Copies of this chain bind each other. A is one copy, B any other.
Amino acid sequence: MPEQPPYLGIADVLRRRVAEREWTSGDRLPSRAQIAQECGVGENVVRRAQELLISQGVLEGRAGSGTYVAEPRKRVRVVRSAAREQPQSSPFRADMKAVGRQGDWESRTDAKVPAPAEVATRLGTTEGDLCVRTAYEFLADGKPVHLSTSWEPYEVTGGTLVVLPEGGPHAGAGVVNRMAALGINVSHAVEQPEPQQATAEEASLLGIQKAALVTHIRRTYYSDEGQPVETADIVVPTALCEIVYEVPISR
């Protein structure tokens, strides 16, 4: 006989109270001690139940303040498809415009950074080769929604006007457009999404709960000659963004 442990029972009670609008979005729940007494269980049982609902995105804990009903956030739709790259525009701004939000970003680039081992293999170069590294923070209406760190081999763009992704005449135009200015035709990208839990640093940068789920995308752009021209580590928090791939079918 599978007798349900107490904390799961309390979780069900809390979940139902939220579902039945006894407490609605943004409301603060009674303190743990109150709920515990009311339900006739220990404080710790309530805590476990709340932790469960927090990990499921139903509740939200704020240290020193209280436990709240999570606000359903409109998530940003991040589209990844062939049609994504527009001349003279950035893919991100287009994504944001599509949902009526203002897209913007901040970046910090370091030229001539030696490539770490993993980046080097992705770029088809060898460890220590020089790269241009750019760290991005993408914002929707001023709030960060996802992060990215981009690596370009210095060999490709070094000494040209597009060395710096966010400087020069093609600033912010995206990898594809910038490479086109060098006569390099970017033919396809390979993206490898992996589920992860946010690090403490990522969580504070993105304003999400600690250990919240994120998708870590390792993206590499290739020229039509099969040469990698850029690779990036992209961190997309599930709470803020939904990722959509549109894949065409050819027969």
Contact = CB atoms under 8 A, between A and B. Distances in A.
A251 interface: yes
B251 A87 contact: yes
Interface in A192-239: 192-197, 213-215, 221, 238
A87 B150 CA distance: 38
Contacts of A238: 194-195
Contacts of A82: 247-250
Nearest to A186: B249
Contacts of A80: 245, 247
Contacts of A81: 247
A242 interface: yes
A243 B193 contact: yes
Contact of A247 (B87, B195, B243, B247): B247
A193 to B, nearest CB: 5
Given A193-B245, A194-B242, A250 B215 contact: no
Contact of A248 (B195, B243, B248): B248
B191 A245 contact: yes
A208 to B, nearest CB: 13
Nearest to A56: B197
26 contacts: A80-B247, A81-B247, A83-B250, A85-B250, A85-B251, A176-B249, A176-B251, A186-B249, A188-B247, A188-B248, A188-B249, A189-B247, A189-B249, A190-B245, A192-B243, A192-B244, A192-B245, A193-B215, A194-B215, A194-B242, A195-B214, A195-B215, A213-B213, A215-B215, A247-B247, A248-B248
Interface of A: 55, 80-85, 87, 176, 180, 186-197, 213-215, 221, 238, 242-251
